[in-house]
Amino acid sequence: MSLYEPNSASPLPLSAVGWASNSSTCPKDFTLINLTLDGATANFVRGFGMKSGYYLCYSTNTAGGMVVSDIQVISDKEPIPHGYCFIPEYLDSKASVWKKKRVCVRIVPLGSVDTAVLDIKLTAKNKVALQHYTCLGDIHGYVLWCKKGHFSSPVPQAKPRSVSLDLRKLSLDQSAPRCLSGQVTPRSNIYGVSAMDGVPFTLHPRFEVPPSRAVPSNNLNNIRIKSVQDIENEYNYPFTVEESAASRTQTRTLLFPNKY
C-alpha cells in the first residue's frame, strides 16, 4: 500500500488522512489501508467478538488546495501540537477509535510548502526499519511510517467550456434602439459596431434596369464617342428668339411705362 514510487518524477502529496470502519464508510476520494506492508490485516480493532473495526485511509486529492506537511502519533495525555489537528473519523455508528494513541496531522496550503508527506506505511510491531521512511510510533500493535519529500504541484486542469460564437444568431434589429422617426440611434462601439451595420444597401427602383430592357452587349460597339466641339455643334442654340422677345418687352416698357 505505497503511494511513493522511487522512480516517479512527480510524487503526489497526501492531502488528508483519516479513520474508516470499512470500505463502505471510506470517502470515495480516499484509499483504505487494509493490509500492512508484511501482508497482515491492518484492522486496529482486534479481539474476540469484534464486528466493527477501523482502518487508516488517505487521500491525494489536492483539489481543496491543502496538503499534509507532517504527521505525529501522540498519547491521549499529550497536548496536541500547535498547528496540528486530529485526523477525521469515518466510522460506523457502533465503532469507536482506540483513544490511547492519537494520530494528528498538520495541514497547510498547497503553495506554502515544497515538501510534504508523500507516503504512509503500516508494519507489524517488529520495528523493521524502512529505508527513507520515518517511524512515527506504534499504535495498538502496528507501527506507522511516513515518507516526506519534495513534490510537484499539480497542474490545474482547464474546465471545458461550451461557447457558441454563431454570429448568425445575433440580431442587430433587436439590439439597436430606434427613434420615433425610424432612424437607427447610435450604439455603443464596444465591439466596433457602427450604427450603419446591418442596414441593407439597395439601389433605388428608378435606377434599376429591368431585365427586359437590358442593352445587348453587341450594341455597345455602335456607341460613337463625341468630342466637345461635336457636342457644341450639335446642341448649339443661339437663343435669338428669346433675345428678340426680351428686347421687344424692354421697348414696350419704355414707351408705355404706365401699362407695364
Q: How far lies 51's CA from each of 25, 90, 184, in Å?
A: 15, 16, 80
Cβ–Cβ under 8 Å, residues 110 and 156? no
Per the document, the length of the chain is 260
pLDDT of residue 210: 63
Quote the CA–CA distance of 146 and 4 in Å, as a whole number: 10
Give the distance from CA 172 to its chain's centroid. Answer: 28
pLDDT of residue 76: 87
Cβ–Cβ under 8 Å, residues 1 and 35? yes
Share in percent of the chain as helix, strand, coil (round to 5): 20, 25, 60
Question: What are the residues whose beta carbons fall under 8 Å from the beta carbon of 95, sequence distance 6 or more?
Answer: 21, 45, 52, 53, 54
Residue 149: burial class (beta carbons within 10 Å; 0-12, 13-18, 19+): middle
Cβ–Cβ under 8 Å, residues 57 and 18? yes
- What type of residue is 109? P
**52: its cell numbers:** 466493527
Give residue-wise pLDDT tens across range 27-85.
999 999 999 988 888 988 765 555 567 899 999 999 999 999 999 999 989 999 999 99
pLDDT of residue 131: 86
Give residue-wise pLDDT tens across range 152-194.
766 555 555 554 545 455 554 454 444 444 444 445 444 455 6
Global pTM?
0.55
pLDDT of residue 215: 56
* Phi-psi label, residue 254: left if phi above 0, alpha if psi -120 to 50, beta otherwise: alpha
Cβ–Cβ under 8 Å, residues 137 and 71? no
- What type of residue is 216? P
CA atoms within 13 A on the CB side of 103: 29
Quote the CA–CA distance of 83 and 52 in Å, as a whole number: 32
Q: Cell numbers 487508516 correspond to what residue?
A: 56
- Parallel, antiparallel, or unpaired: how do β-strands 89-90 and 16-20 relate? parallel
